[in-house]
Amino acid sequence: MMKDDVIIITGAAMGLGLATAQLLAKEGAKLVLVDFNEEALNRTVENLKSTYPEVKIISLLADVSKEDEVKNYVDTAVNEFGRIDGFYNNAGIEGKQASVTNYDLDIFKKVIDINLMGVYYGLRYVIPVMQKQKYGRIVNVSSVGGIRGVLNQMPYVASKHAVSGMTKNAALEYGKDGILTNAIAPGAILTPMVAEAFKQINPDDPKAAEKEYASHNPTRALGDPKDVASVVAYLLSKTNGYVSGQTIAIDGGESNMYGSPE
Ligand SMILES: NC(=O)c1ccc[n+]([C@@H]2O[C@H](COP(=O)([O-])OP(=O)(O)OC[C@H]3O[C@@H](n4cnc5c(N)ncnc54)[C@H](O)[C@@H]3O)[C@@H](O)[C@H]2O)c1
């Protein structure tokens, strides 16, 4: 489906970014992997190269909240591979769990800088490349927290609502250039970020917090990063010819629920 497509993935070293990198490496895409965690990024690249020896990968250290570092990963992708077919604008953080009036201001601003400005900088530099090509597929990462409120996570919820909003605007403004832009809204997918949230909710027994959370989902389970990767791969591919401007929930149906499951 994606042989030789050039795909940038931010936050590629772990979790959802890593799962999509694995799937796209298997499909023969050319990958530009971006992360700010050097050790985890190097480990990911080594693993991918040993599993898929033919895969073409460049990896770049960048903090997506720094505009010059975003410009650099986009320029490097173009210099190295000549084009950008798909952009998985995924890097994000959760922040800390705290009520609205007790939220630490520095952490609040950091969440906004990474989740909102980081996604925006990516769009700002990738879209002109795709406009020249008259082709591009973009997947921004929102969250169920971009559709609903989530207790004790105000900056996360604010930033993810913004991601869904920016997705609509990018889709409206650049559809004429052959660029389809969507967002995904994962529910609770078991990645290192979500494991950390369960530790904050119940430091003595994070597994109990995980089980309790899963019991409220219609499927009674948490999601697997692979469940997300397959949807992202479709949205980043040429097979997607007409889906644009959407925020697609990947949450076992939970965001449609009113009341508790039986
Ligand atoms: N896991 C879930 O259930 C879930 C649910 C909804 C939304 N999301 C969103 O999915 C995305 C990925 O989350 P995840 O669960 O895989 O998290 P994760 O913490 O497991 O992985 C995130 C990766 O992004 C990198 N990263 C974080 N900030 C960065 C920055 N400023 N610059 C560059 N790299 C950075 C980290 O080093 C890490 O490799 C995030 O945007 C998150 O908000 C996840």
Q: Tell how far the Cα of 144 is from the centroid of ligand 1, in angstroms.
A: 14
84 and 109 part of one domain:
yes
115 and 206 part of one domain:
no
168 and 134 part of one domain:
yes
Does residue 260 fall inside a structural domain? no
208 and 237 part of one domain:
no
Q: List residues near ligand 1 (CB under 6 A).
A: 10-11, 13-17, 35-37, 40, 62-65, 90-93, 114, 118, 141, 143, 186, 188-189, 191-194
Does residue 258 fall inside a structural domain? no
Is the overall model pTM greater than 0.95, yes or no? yes
Ligand 1 mutation target, pool 42, 61, 93, most atoms within 8 A of CB: 93
Domain range spanning residue 128?
6-187+224-252
69 and 95 part of one domain:
yes
Does residue 257 fall inside a structural domain? no
178 and 196 part of one domain:
no
Name the residue at shortest CA distance from atom 7 of ligand 1.
143
Query: In the chain, how many domains are there?
Result: 2
81 and 169 part of one domain:
yes
Does residue 101 fall inside a structural domain? yes
- Return all residues near 128 (Cβ < 8 A) that are at least 6 apart: none
**How, if at all, do strands 30-35 and 57-61 pair?**
parallel
Does residue 75 fall inside a structural domain? yes
Which H or E run contains 136?
A: strand 136-141
208 and 144 part of one domain:
no
Does residue 23 fall inside a structural domain? yes
Q: Tell how far the Cα of 3 is from the centroid of ligand 1, in angstroms.
A: 26
40 and 81 part of one domain:
yes
pLDDT truncated to tens, each residue of the chain (262 aa)? 899 999 999 999 999 999 999 999 999 999 999 999 999 999 999 999 999 999 999 999 999 999 999 999 999 999 999 999 999 999 999 999 999 999 999 999 999 999 999 999 999 999 999 999 999 999 999 999 999 999 999 999 999 999 999 999 999 999 999 999 999 999 999 999 899 989 999 999 999 999 999 999 999 999 999 999 999 999 999 999 999 999 999 999 999 998 776 7
Q: Catalytic site residue 234?
A: no
216 and 230 part of one domain:
no
Does residue 132 fall inside a structural domain? yes
Q: Nearest 10 degrees: CA dihedral of 155, 159, 162, 166?
A: 160
Could you identify the atom of ligand 1 that is nearest to the CA of residue 114? 31
Could you identify the atom of ligand 1 that is nearest to the CA of residue 37? 37
Q: Tell how far the Cα of 153 is from the centroid of ligand 1, in angstroms.
A: 15
Q: Give pLDDT, residue 172.
A: 98
Q: How far is CA 106 from the centre of its chain?
A: 23
Q: Give pLDDT, residue 259.
A: 78
53 and 147 part of one domain:
yes
Q: Give pLDDT, residue 16.
A: 98
Could you identify the atom of ligand 1 that is nearest to the CA of residue 65? 31
CATH code, domain carrying 61: 3.40.50.720
Does residue 180 fall inside a structural domain? yes
218 and 171 part of one domain:
no
